[in-house]
Structure 1
Amino acid sequence: MKSQLKSLILACLALTFFGCESLPHADEVRDQQQKTSYRTTENLNDDWQFRRLSDSLNSGWESVFLPHTIRIEPLVVNDQWQGEAVYKKEFRVNEISDRKWFFHFEGVMQEADVEINDSPVESHKGGYLPFTVDATPFLKKNSLNTITVRVRNLDNSTIPPGKPLEGLDFNFYGGIYRNVQLIKTGTVFITDPVHAAEVNSGGLLVHFDSISEANAEGFVKTHFQNDSEEEKEIVVETIFTSKDGRTYKFTAPSENVSAGSSLAVTQPVSIPQPDLWSPDSPALYDLKVRLFENGEEIDRKEIRTGIRDIFLSEDGFYLNGKRLFLNGTNRHQEYPFIGYALSDEANYRDAYKIKEAGFNFVRLSHYPQTTAFYEACDELGLLLMDCIPGWQYFGNEEFQERSLQDIRDMARRDRNHPSVVFWENSLNESGMTPEFIVKANEVLKKELPYEDTYSAGWIDHPAYDLFTPARQHAKPPYYWNLYNTTNRPILIAEYGDWEYYAQNAGFNQTAFSDLQEEERTSRQLRSAGEKRLLQQAFNFQEAFNSNLKGAQTIGMANWLMFDYNRGYSDDLEASGIADIFRIPKFSYYFYKSQKEPYSGAFSEPMVFIASYWTKGSSKKITVFSNTEEVALYLNGKLLAKKKPKADQFSDELPHPPFNFEVDEFEPGELKAEGFIDGKRVAEHVVRTPEKTAYIKLEADLSGKDLATTSPDVIFIYAKITDANGTLVPSANHPVTFRLEENENAELIGENPVNAEAGIASILLRVNKPTSDIVIYANSRDLSEATITIEK
């Protein structure tokens, strides 16, 4: 294929203009002379009317904005709302001649019946992937029109994940929980890849299959539809623009497309000295594809993509010719109280926190997540394993067909993201038949028939390119370290939780009779105290170290990044290295210490003392650091300066923890200093907390400012400190949050809320704020605190 493509490129050079400079003046003139049928995309998240149909407490229609969850849930979700609800919105239509109107839904959980002006338009089943409605035939011009969406999140064994909520290891929250766009085009337009339903086509498809530092050769396939009443002669133009402004333009020969039909045009492209995408240097290109008729632009579509070369072999995963070990985590897309209804910015902040923790890889457990998260991973440099919806359930023929369709839709939606390197077209921990496994891989390979399309499955079947068992799927003490095959590498898809929870009880997560003692589990809330948080960190360390002993292990993903709710359990699943409010536990800093200093973005020397240094603290002090030496001081006195000493639980780690012993507890200050090449490069101080005195308010923005032109949601933390500003981890005061009157903002969550390990948390939700947002917090015997978030 590579040689054929190279020949095609050479043959087309005479027809292709290639350059590395600004577009010529003629293009600017054409921009000014665009037809009225040019594409527009409008965010449609505001001004919806909503009501629950199966809720006895429903009082009628209410005004809401999207993303929206059907009901605000408690922190621990033990009686999640399920049922039917209706959303409707009015919109004005003027002249519609030679225009197409599409409503694009990024995600509705999990059944949606759409009507336009009371006419049924489409029924969609499946809550994790997008669908598009062609509203054009149902519109009434020069009048108000109404779109109505009836949604259901009821148990349905034919819709993946299929398992009833009460037995599911995660929750699916109802509502139009992702964005909705109104897209208007002319009658000749570039299609949506999922809506087009074309194998290995639809919309824009970008692939590079010959990549080096000198040159990247590939193609862009553009699929467009002619819904006019006459044949059209169309020219497709493709433009890549690098971050530093270099442009590369490719123009295909004109193509005739008859009325009512579609066409896919494949353009060979060649980028000299490409900026290659990687976790340490996530270079992206802006790709613009334009359709021209008679020299005038009639449609365009723009995306961001990256150029990277990936190769999977039994000895490792290679990125841009270099072997890369995948150190990853799992992520559920859930927030407290609002379920799945995260803003795009909130999804970015999750990716930012994962990157900050030192990971380079995320497994999207156990379903496709919102496009904004993929875009954040493209930008920040996180590799992804895309997953179809599934967990411990294999349904009937209708369920299986929908799972296969999920593979198609997932591949069509996500194929242009440089971050996506593996496709988990496997129903997680489910008893799939061999016939289904083979069919699922055939579907993926038809959608993406390329050498670097790698499928992944939890069952060791030759149809999969990558075997992805959880650590607990094998037996201790070796787990998967002795696995031996000649043709298939392993990525440990989950580790650090279940093997410390139920003594390898397999898949029966309701068998609670054979548990380890409570202190042994990795499921520890942030309020569990030093001893248990240190145990959790040690569990992850031990499992991480053990996984590195496997000869064919190319990577791993811990279970997991953030705490979350489950359908089958009435408590939080607390094995996250950060809690459900995204506040780090000690384990977070263990992972951060495994990232090499000075190795790219989000990489720096660090040191962290895993202690609160109170009277009850252990005199054995654990310090996580990626430096060469650490010195520990108590009240200014040097206790020791040492290098890490590896043992059976750390002998494979890039950076083993540093262990110190203190003879006697002495209140005051513990200070750790990290050294590289003899120079102090990092410091961390822990002080013995005194009597509570103040509240300190903080807003968690994590690399992304509060949105001002669209809905957003952020965490507000009230930290209870002593007079010196030291957090008091024993404080559990009830904290009351108050929002200064602001019609564009609201607080969501328990209020008042008891502080957990010294921090009380609440959500702030905003929609296009017009003024600064002022929040207050107070508690008994403590001065009121305030924070202002500028518009």
Structure 2
Amino acid sequence: MPDFPLLSKVFARVGGSLLLAGALSECTTHSSSNIAPAVDFNQDWQFVKDADTAVTASFFTKSNDTTWVPVSLPHTAQLEPVVTDKKQWQGICFYRKFFHVPATDSSKQVAIHFGAAMHTADVYLNGKRLERHIGGYLPFTVDVTHHVKFGQENCLLVKLNNQDNPEVPPGKPLKDLDFNFYSGLYRSVELLVQDRVHISDPVEAGHTAGGGILVHYENVSPQSATLRLQTEVENKDNRDQTVQVRATLLDEKGQEISRVQNEAAGIASGAFERVDQQLLVANPRLWSPEQPYRYRLVVEVLREGTVIDRQELHTGIRTIRFAKDGFYLNNQKVRLRGTNRHQEYPYLCYALSDNAQYRDAWQIKEAGFNFVRCSHYPPSPAFLDACDELGILVMNSIPGWQFFGNAEFQKNSLQNVRDMVRRDRNHPSIVLWESSLNETGMSKPYMEQTHQAVHQELPWKEGVYTCGWMDYAYDVFIPARQHSKAPDYWSKYAGQKPLLLCEYGDWEYYAQNAGFNQTAYAGLKESERTSRQLRGQGERALAQQALNFQEAHNDNFRSPIVGDANWLMFDYKRGYAPDIESSGVGDIFRLPKFAYYFYQSQYGPVTTPHGFGKPMVYIANYWQPTSAKQVVVYSNCDEVELQLNGKPVARQRPDATTFSNKLKHPPFTFTLPAFTAGTLRAVGYHNGKPAAQTERRTPGAPQRLQLSYARHGRDLAAGQNDAVFVYASVVDANGTVVPDATTPVSFNVQGAELIGDNPVKAEAGIATILLRAGVKPTAIQITASANSLSSNTLSISSK
């Protein structure tokens, strides 16, 4: 097989195949098709928790037992409060679903694909236990062909156990873990009814460097590229079969670029056949964060001229190389400017819709990052899809944090490595595979095996890179900034590997290496010592947090690193502490802090397909009597003019301090002699012309509520358990948010479901709820009210 990286993207399944949402229902060929439509398997489930753990015949019989609650997927076993003295729920829960498979499908292959289940799943069908799956972050498929009753009612039962288990990664007891792993069938479940001859599932097949579709490119240049394609076809029929594989490459407009079809080949009953093909791409448009161009690849299996299986993939053409002097994308040096991200939401925990995953990626890109580390486990495929589409480079990670278990744990962890690569190998966004357990004292044999596993699954000589926090075995060394000591940190690193700082900005202020010793620093909350600041702690704390990130990011440039990733994008909840971990540049409700705009200022100005990186300017000051008289402005422009009540204060170039002298776009600091109420206006100039402007008004007395919601590139969708944040801002007569308002706000919702608390106390002038759409598209009205404030109503529609 050739030497270049795998670069494609897989979308939603249809009839056992993978079909791009919105794609044509037929391929661009004239062959007839024998592919059944998809079966929506996320609706009409029943759920119970903390029940008798013994599975009895009654579990598989419909009854009027009200202990079974109707639910739809994705689902968490318990809606968790934002802050509580109690730990997240742990225990045993059950999901069941009654369903039919038509008698006319009795010749088909029938399987159930689980996107993820936390974390030990026993799967039963019609009273018989079929399989146990270990691990809460990666998919598994259960073949039910010989157990389903065609033309009759079936009962699928899933027993889940998310209690502490040292053999299931991450393995560490929840009370000592730095994140929560939550519960439930929190990703989609699919019923696959397909021909018994079909493209295999790469995870289910379990074949090294095999299963499903494997895509990579060689000889990539602006003039041409060669797409090398491997398709594995499985024959689960009781007869030998003869099939062909046809591959068609299309551009973004649906125009055919290239096509290839192999000669008819035989597959013995019960066997797999790998088909290798090659397509030429003339004048390829290369995938990059600024121009994330994707082609469409259609792979079809034909029997006697009829299409019996089809998968469609988005594919991006690019080359990558990590060297000691930098990261190279398409032979151009690119500095990785990144963040870390936990996948949880308040209340819903891990049970996020695909749209919610997309919105998180949108904000990461909007905040100016070109790189994200998936801390500390593999994310939803929908998040990776969004990174492909939006142009975000990715470090994919196995489950693990400060825990190295026994032989069974290590076996399960090694399987996590292989399953992660098999599931995600075709995403153009992924440039690093973290096959290392984060901040964990691993054995050398374990590190060697997990490093080798990635290279066995992706056997190319170039373009495949593992990474680990220990400087051993892995291709790229990824310590955290605080893993070394001040004042040098990593500036004197003399190793030979590419160096990337996978975490910085959280703990390395006075409390050296506190990340390894939470107990000793449990009460450390002063703003000068950490970046852990809630949005409601005030502008002084938010300004200090932003300065901490700025100082660390600036200092990182003194090290021989290829890039860095701050800790972190959004606030989250931890197992070992009841409070919110508040290092995020956005809070747990996805509302930006000052630091969000510092990072946004480090990107651009450029032109991208979605409008990211355009000229921007932001005033990191509330401009009220208690505000600092030094006004910091973040901008990616060349100059900024600050005005107060229409009169110029100054027009100046960026700062030149020891905290900013390595930055692409240092902040602009203006000193005002005294506070005068009114309006601050900042105008950014690019190439001598006004390019962006913003205002900050002195807040007055609270007068009314103002409603908005977080669309972030995706409308609220019906029938998908999609949820969006709705914000009720306490504003004055001019519409300025009152940043010290903590007013309780009550919400009334019609046409959708309110998730979480009601009323909600405002934090820094904004009260937030989650709004979840129903099964069918509808008009939705949200009304917010509070004592002594004018109410407000927002109308939106679920699509």
Shorter-chain TM band: over 0.9
Partner of 2:687: 677
TM-score scaled by structure 1?
0.94
- Whole-angstrom distance in 1 between the partners of 2:712 and 2:112: 32
Contact in 2 for aligned 1:735/1:777 (Cα 8 Å)? yes
Relative distance call for 1:619 and 1:178 in structure 2 (3 A) is same
Cα distance in 2 for partners of 1:494, 1:446 equals 28
Name 1:419's counterpart in structure 2: 429
Residues 693 and 782, structure 1, Cα contact 8 Å, conserved in 2: yes
2:349 alignment partner, SS class = coil
Question: Per the alignment, do residues 366 and 473 of structure 1 end up closer, same or farther by CA in structure 2, a change over 3 Å counting?
Answer: same
SS of structure 2 residue aligned to 1:546? helix
- Partner residue of 1:460 out of 459, 471, 482: 471
Unaligned runs of 5+ in 1: 6-22
Distance of 1:4 and 1:195 partners within structure 2 = 25
For 1:45, the equivalent position in structure 2 comes to 42
Matched residue, 2:323: 313
Give the unaligned 5+ runs of structure 2.
6-23, 54-64
The match for 1:20 is none
Query: Offset at 1:3?
Result: 9.5
* Inter-partner Cα distance in structure 2 for 1:99 and 1:81: 40
| Cα deviation, residue 709, structure 1 | 4.1
* CA distance in structure 2 between the aligned counterparts of 1:666 and 1:471, rounded to whole angstroms: 41
Q: Which residue of 1 aligns with 2:178?
A: 169
- CA 1:594–1:446 in 2, change beyond 3 Å: closer, same or farther? same
Structure 1 residue 154, shift from structure 2 partner: 0.5
1:519 positional shift: 4.0
Q: What secondary structure does 1:398 align onto?
A: helix
Name the CA distance, whole Å, in 2 between partners of 1:788 and 1:69. Answer: 28
1:185 aligns to 2:194 (yes or no): yes
Task: Report which stretch shifted further, 725-734 or 593-602.
Answer: 593-602
Counterpart in the other structure of 2:411: 401
Per-residue CA shift, 1:652-678, capped at 9, x if unaligned? Answer: 000111011111100000111111122
**Counterpart Cα distance in 1 of 2:479 and 2:588:** 26
Residue type of the partner of 2:402?
Q
Counterparts in 2 of 1:61 and 1:314: CA distance versus 1, 3 Å: same
Q: What are the Cα deviations for residues 271-305 of structure 1, in whole angstroms up to 9, with x where unaligned?
A: 11112111000111111111111111111111212
Shift of 1:54: 4.9
Q: TM-score, normalization: structure 2?
A: 0.93
CA contact (8 A) 1:39 1:300 kept: no
Alignment correspondent of 2:606? 598
Whole-angstrom distance in 2 between the partners of 1:3 and 1:559: 34
Within the alignment, does 1:505 sit opposite 2:502 as a pair? no
Aligned positions of 1:458-607 closer than 5 A: 458-461=469-472, 463-485=473-495, 487-500=496-509, 502-505=511-514, 507-512=516-521, 515=524, 517-551=526-560, 553-600=561-608, 601-607=611-617
Pair 1:391 & 2:401 matched: yes
Residue 207 of structure 2 aligns to a residue whose secondary structure is coil
Q: Give, in whole Å, the separation in 1 of the partners of 2:3 and 2:341.
A: 40
| 2:303 corresponding residue in structure 1 | 293
Q: What is the DSSP-based 3-state SS (H/G/I as helix, E as strand, rest coil) of the residue aligned with 2:311?
A: strand
SS for the counterpart of 1:365 is: coil
Residue in structure 2 matching 1:776, options 783, 788, 798: 783
Task: Quote the residue 2:645 is aligned against.
Answer: 635
Could you report, residue by residue, the CA deviation over 1:45-68 in whole angstroms, capped at 9, with x for unpaired residues? 111000003599x96110001110
CA shift, 1:556, in A, is 0.6
| Partner-residue secondary structure (3-state), 1:444 | helix
**What does residue 226 of structure 1 align with?**
235
Instruction: Tell me the CA shift for residue 217 of structure 1.
Output: 1.3
- Given the superposition, is the C-alpha separation of residues 771 and 599 from structure 1 closer, same or farther in structure 2, using an over 3 Å criterion? closer
Range moving further from structure 2, 300-309 or 507-516: 507-516
Equivalent-residue separation in structure 2 for 1:365 and 1:26 (angstroms): 38
Identity %: 49
- 1:2 to 1:227, Cα distance in 2 relative to 1, 3 A: closer
Query: How big is each residue's C-alpha offset from its partner over 1:634-658, in whole Å with a ceiling of 9 and x where there is no partner?
Result: 1111111110131111110001110
1:363-410 superposed Cα distances (whole Å, 9 cap, x missing partner)? 000000100000000000000000000000000000001110001000
Q: Per-residue CA shift, 1:492-548, capped at 9, x if unaligned? A: 000000112733335122222784744432000001111110000000000000111
Structure 1, residues 715-767: CA drift from partner, whole Å, max 9, x if none? 00000100111110011100011112x3xx21011111110000000101113
Matches of 1:389 and 1:164 in 2, distance apart? Answer: 13
**CA drift at 1:246:** 2.8
SS at structure 2 position matched to 1:561: coil
Map of 2:20 onto structure 1: none
Within-5 A mapping of 1:420-435 = 420-435=430-445
1:528-579 CA distance string (max 9 Å, x none):
111110000000000000111112x001100000000000011000000000
Paired residues for 1:68-467 under 5 Å: 68-77=75-84, 78-95=86-103, 96-247=105-256, 248-450=258-460, 451-461=462-472, 463-467=473-477
Deviation at 1:42, TM superposition (A): 2.5
Matches within 5 A, 1:52-67: 52-54=49-51, 60-67=67-74
Specify the code of the residue in structure 1 equivalent to 2:94: V
Q: Secondary structure at the match of 1:785?
A: strand
- Give the aligned partner of residue 698 of structure 2: 688
The residue that corresponds to 1:748 in the other structure is 755
Q: Is the 8 A contact 1:777 1:784 kept in 2?
A: yes
Is the partner of 1:87 in helix, strand or coil? Answer: strand
Distance 2:3 2:298 in 1: 26
Aligned 8 A contact 1:39 1:183 in 2: no
How far 1:44 sits from its partner (Å)? 1.1
2:218 partner SS: strand
Residue number in structure 2 paired with 1:760? 767
1:95-146 deviation per Cα after TM superposition (whole angstroms, max 9, x unaligned):
2332011111111110111111111111101000000111111111211111
| Distance in 2 of aligned mates of 1:190 and 1:518 | 55
Offset of residue 306 of structure 1 = 1.1
> How far 1:29 moved relative to its partner?
3.7
Mapped contact 1:501–1:522 kept (Cα < 8 A): no
Q: Is the 8 A contact 2:527 2:544 kept in 1?
A: no
1:662-673 pair list within 5 angstroms: 662-673=672-683
- Residues 197-206 or 297-306, more deviating: 297-306
Task: Confirm or deny: 8 A CA contact 1:2 1:210 kept in the other structure.
Answer: no
Paired amino acid for 1:232: Q
2:644 partner amino acid: L
> Equivalent residue of 1:711, what SS?
coil
One-letter code aligned to 1:46: Q
Superposition deviation, residue 788 in structure 1: 0.7
- Give the Cα separation in 2 of the matches to 1:614 and 1:259: 76
The separation in 1 between residues aligned to 2:189 and 2:270, in whole angstroms, is 27
**Distance (Å, rounded) in 2 between the aligned partners of 1:771 and 1:695:** 24
